[in-house]
Amino acid sequence: GAVVSQHPSWVICKSGTSVKIECRSLDFQATTMFWYRQFPKQSLMLMATSNEGSKATYEQGVEKDKFLINHASLTLSTLTVTSAHPEDSSFYICSARGFTWTSGDYNEQFFGPGTRLTVL
Amino acid sequence: KNEVEQSPQNLTAQEGEFITINCSYSVGISALHWLQQHPGGGIVSLFMLSSGKKKHGRLIATINIQEKHSSLHITASHPRDSAVYICALRSGGSNYKLTFGKGTLLTVNP
């Protein structure tokens, strides 16, 4: 099936630093990419939706100046957590939507493996 | 009431057993996804359904749009099937956002 990669898979940083997470669709063009956050034992929570070449749409309660999303190409989106604090420690997951010959559908979503962020 | 309800929340089975996980929802949808999340976090999309039934290996997913209900079945369960199984709804229109169930934790013992 289609593959979505994330980098890094885990990161530990000091409070106040910025962290960039990359999400790539490896074998298809992602029309839309989604960024999720998941706290332990909880469901995924959508943070923002981004379409290539346009500004991301953030969910209510998600600070756009803190979580910067760039979707510069059809295969790459980045999430930058600026001035990270311990409460930002979480599991960040991206997904990508786009046509694949495997699914024969534009609406299938493929998930990345996630990035575990720990802010000390 | 949540838009999507999964049952059971936790399920323990012996290897070889037939497993059923249920998902009921209260809103109109354009598609329903079944996802698998292993310990460590990575999510795998198992099925995307808008009607009928799909089968992949030992996994079968069904959906009844009129009854707003979907089931995920695992035949001949195996310890490697142990994971959290998540039902997610996609509403209609051009909005591709998913609404996630709380998940069902499946443990298959050898």
- pLDDT tens profile A54-68: 889 999 999 999 999
What is the Rg, in whole angstroms, of the alpha carbon atoms belonging to chain B? Answer: 13
Q: How far apart are CA B110 and CA B97, in angstroms?
A: 37
Question: Does residue A88 sit in helix, strand or coil?
Answer: helix
- A30 versus B2: the higher-pLDDT residue is A30
Distances (CA, A) of B1 to B5, B25, B74: 9, 10, 28
Q: How far apart are CA A61 and CA B42, in angstroms?
A: 25
Q: List, as ranges, residues 50-89 from B with C-beta within 8 Å of A.
A: 86
Question: What residues in B contact A54, CB-CB < 8 Å?
Answer: none
Question: What residues in A contact B51, CB-CB < 8 Å?
Answer: none
Whether chain B has a CB inside 8 Å of the CB on A38: the answer is yes
The pLDDT tens digits of the residues spanning A8-45 come to: 999 999 999 999 999 999 888 888 999 999 998 888 99
Question: Does residue A112 sit in helix, strand or coil?
Answer: coil
Which tokens go with A42?
């909880």
What is the separation of C-alpha B24 from the centre of its chain, rounded to a whole number of angstroms?
10
Question: What residues in B contact A44, CB-CB < 8 Å?
Answer: 43, 86, 100
